Chains A and B, each alone.
Chain A
Amino acid sequence: MEPFIYDLSRPGRRGVDMPDPDVPLTPLPAEYLRDDLPLPEIGEPEVVRHYVRLSQRNYAVDKGFYPLGSCTMKYNPKINERMARLPGFALLHPLQDPATVQGAMQLMYELQQMLAEIAGFAAVSLQPAAGAHGELSGVLIMRAAQVARGQGHRHKILVPDSAHGTNPASTTMSGLTVIEIPSGADGNVDLEALKAQLDDQVVGLMITNPSTLGLFEQHIVEICRVVHEAGGFVYGDGANLNAIMGITRPGDLGIDVLHFNLHKTFSTPHGGGGPGSGPVGVSAELADFLPGPIVAQNAEGEYVWTMPARSIGRVKAFHGNFGMFVRAYTYIRMHGAEGLRRVSEDAVLNANYIQALLKQRGDYPIPHGDRFCMHELVAQGRIAGAEGVHTLDIAKRLIDYGFHPPTIYFPLIVPEALMIEPTETETKETLDAFVDALTAIAQEARTNPELLHTAPHTAPVRRLDEVRAARQPILARVPVGGR
């Protein structure tokens, strides 16, 4: 195993030499100073080797197939990284005079416009830092718009039971009440159950389309219509936008507000957990409520900061995760309209190809396998003849075959779920090899289930004791005298 960073420390070592002051010294105020600064002391070579060795204990898109459903782990173009590091972008202070940052503001303005065009909205704010942050913004926008209509008493947000956990969590943070709507047997939202909840207390509906079951909601236009009739708004969770670029536009379907995930659909890297970027697009009626400031263009053609008239306020310091804007802008410019449609077509083609192969081989039930899926499919780790084997075992065994496992046990409404999202950047050979691995694992499950129960066998560590981690949490190790 790799040593803990402090174990590499030896008194007197230095990782960086800083220059001596080039100004006269000013005495330090003794009563303000800390006794000790318990940071490590390590030379630069050892720091680099430590982190390189740690990196080698990671799986990543740059190493192989990463079909983590709902996360859109597509390949991240390297030109994106180079562009984001241009000094004219990376070395800009966010509070500089707008006259000195017109290029950056133009990039933001054009990205706002392009995202609005792709999803069919009147306006976009780039400020939210991640999908959940965009969701919180979106729910607050719906709430504020209801207040502006004199409907401030409304408090219900309807959320299908297949939704990401962030939907109900964002609702609660907004001070509103979550009402769960069941899914029907066909994978669509249960329309009658939805209608039964539509009253004068409804702020809006949050819907993920394509849904987390990987299905396009067949009644989406009808759903938007009935919610609007009840005085509610429809929030679209844009997590699955990768399936529908150039295929359809959420705004055209009746969605009022939607967040984009630049780190999913628009290829900005996931960074081992972040940063992401979660811009919000809205219909004309909601444009005044967007978080801001956003970029506008004045009569002279200059780019200026503007705060929407009835903004919910700012959701973040400064203007959003600009470095992600540069990457997403680069990606969209390289694709154009046809390229983005090709992205979505191939993402959906790849998922359906995996679904078709899995159906042919018959090892893994696919609850909605009678329908074409969108960019992802949900199978089940219920292998006939291997009843003691669970989805977790299958996932861990996939690691031994060199793949990142799919998302598991989500959506919650599908028992033993394996949520597989291949993305468009994978070759047919990779998809074939992945399905072959699943087939081989199903065979192993029947003949040698222990192999699965004890998997992975080739990873840097064996299965980890998560119960112990939670029962007696050790969240930090600081040298004695550190506090």
Chain B
Amino acid sequence: MRYTPHTDADRRAMMATIGITDVAELFADVPAEYRFPKLELPAPLTEMEVARELEALADENTHVGQVACFLGAGAYNHFVPAVVDTVISRGEFYTAYTPYQPEISQGTLQAMFEYQSMIAALTGMDAANASHYDGATAVAEAVIMALHSHRTPRKKVLLSPVLHPQYRAVVRTYTQGMGLRIVGDEQPDTDFHALAALCDEETAVVVVQNPDFLGQLHSPAEMRDLAEAVHARGALLAVSVDPISLGLFTPPGAYGADIVTAEGQALGNSLSFGGPYLGIFAFRNELVRRSSGRLVGETVDANGACGYVLTLSTREQHIRRGKATSNICTNQGLNALAAAVYLAVMGKHGLRKVAELCWHKAHYAADRIAQIPGYEVVAPKPFFKEFVVRCPRPVAEINRFLLDEYGIIGGYDLSHDYPHLGQAMLLCVTEMNTVEEIDDLVHALAEVTESDLIPLEVLF
């Protein structure tokens, strides 16, 4: 076997040293009746063969490199400069583990410190950790951190109804044993003002998303009002953001957020069918000792030279065990590295340009779609790169037509999560969408209203 290098001679010599004649002797502690089961697995393949099999599976899929994609809803098709993959493909980075031995891990440690620094800069917060699993679990960890931050226990958590539905679900899964009251999202039209009114002395944290799940931007003034109302009740404000939007818009640190979380996939990570992604997690200095996750800190070595270490580990499971701030151990380090390289190479001007391209293209698309009879763009506030379109037919039917007739991946069907919007889709436009793709989409949407669609039940 190519990955198990021993020759028969090696094995014999090693067994002689151990004092056995058969490797099976090493497994004498395994109950005999359960020892050496026959596993029903497909026969092994060589590299050539396995590549063919995997390529065939990959070829069965339609990917966003082949067709225009207007689907977002928490995972985004953004440009990834070649530099990113060059760096994260280096074995020195991707075949290392958590930097427990700092003297031989300064590469990972410094890269993570720089990641934390750039995330702090982007979000306007004091510090960031070295990542959570994704945008959803980052929100759940924010809720738990907020619970820990109160001297007297608070058991109420307020979630905005326009926080990503999957993020709200993950918060509920994580905290199901904690005896919390998680409210605020029962009515889909509860706005931030109404949410603030629900905040009381029992409330540990209020979680909102900006731009929200429906793409709407909440102004710094609106966010500042929310933060003041939340803080007046002694609660914390956690804001989930789109990191690309922060290339243009006021960061949460400037309007009073205590914790900022984000899905960081958009920063240099491929769509990869939903993972591995990156949970961004930033906070104010006052919360640092309540923070979950790995933190890299700057220090000096025995010669006084600058260096980096994992720090404040007394918060963590391997030291504090049952009293740790979280159970997280393995995180999304390589995805954080990708985000760091992305931010470094995009830089001050590139990220702003990406955000501007999203803005202009999304607004061009919305303007054109709004002119198609039967369609309505539902965007009472400014939006960034996503917006709601109310459609004349069920979204699933429209999306099937877009894909079959135009090779377009349409928007996210909102009818399950937000039925009050009716037949509505959430469209996403990024810098990857050309004007031709947008015009195609507009033509296709117009054509849908005129064509006799085959009813959906026949298609499925």
Contact = CB atoms under 8 A, between A and B. Distances in A.
Contacts of B96: 58-61, 270-272
Given A130-B329, A270-B95, A316 B322 contact: no
A248 B30 contact: yes
Contacts of B363: 26
B120 to A, nearest CB: 4
Interface string B30-50: 110011111111111111001
Contact of A60 (B92, B124, B126, B332): B92
A322 B41 contact: no
B129 to A, nearest CB: 8
21 contacts: A22-B434, A34-B249, A48-B87, A57-B104, A58-B108, A59-B101, A88-B58, A96-B409, A97-B399, A103-B61, A106-B60, A246-B36, A248-B27, A270-B98, A275-B331, A313-B169, A322-B273, A372-B29, A425-B5, A428-B14, A476-B126
| Main secondary structure on A side of the interface with B | loop
Interface stretch (A227-235, A379-387, A438-446, A462-470): A462-470
A475 interface: yes
Contact of B344 (A22, A42, A90): A42
Nearest to B19: A356
A415 B361 CA distance: 62
Nearest to B127: A475
Nearest to B118: A39
Contacts of B59: 88, 103
A175 to B, nearest CB: 3
Contacts of B127: 473, 475-476
B387 interface: no
Contact of B34 (A24, A38, A249): A249
A461 B301 contact: yes
B103 A100 contact: no
Given A372-B29, A405-B101, A18 B357 contact: yes
Given A23-B361, A93-B77, A275-B275, A314 B31 contact: no
A91 B357 CA distance: 21
Contacts of A75: 3
B256 interface: no
Contacts of B187: none
A273 B130 contact: yes
Interface residues of B, number: 214
B178 A428 contact: no
Contacts of B66: 87
A185 interface: no
Contacts of B176: 140, 143-144, 174-175, 312-313
Interface centre among B13, B120, B311 (most CB of A within 10 A): B311
Given A315-B173, A372-B29, A427-B6, A461 B102 contact: yes
Contacts of B58: 83, 86-89, 103-104
A131 interface: yes
A472 B328 CA distance: 24
Contacts, number: 708
Contacts of A21: 356-357, 360-361
Contacts of A337: 38-41
B278 to A, nearest CB: 9
A27 to B, nearest CB: 9
Most buried by B among A55, A340, A345: A55
Interface stretch (A189-197, A213-221, A279-287): A213-221
A97 B403 contact: yes
Given A54-B110, A60-B93, A131 B330 contact: yes
Nearest to A34: B250
Contacts of A448: none
A346 B29 contact: no
Given A61-B95, A246-B39, A252-B37, A271 B4 contact: no
Interface stretch (B68-76, B230-238, B445-453): B68-76
B63 A91 contact: yes
B41 A114 contact: yes
Interface stretch (B190-198, B216-224, B370-378): B216-224
A276 B275 CA distance: 10
Contact of B117 (A63, A71, A470, A477): A477
A319 B275 contact: yes
A469 B307 CA distance: 10
B438 interface: yes
A144 B298 CA distance: 43
A159 B333 CA distance: 29
Contact of A41 (B3, B295, B347, B361): B347
Contact of A461 (B42, B103, B172, B409): B103
A433 interface: no
Interface in A448-483: 454, 456, 459-466, 468-470, 473-479, 482-483
A121 B300 CA distance: 50
B34 A248 contact: yes
A272 B258 CA distance: 28
B247 A37 contact: yes
A89 B134 contact: no
B90 A86 contact: no
Nearest to A326: B54
A340 B38 CA distance: 11
Contact of B61 (A101, A270, A427, A470): A101
B114 interface: yes
* Most chain A beta-carbon neighbours within 10 Å: one of B45, B176, B273, B306: B273
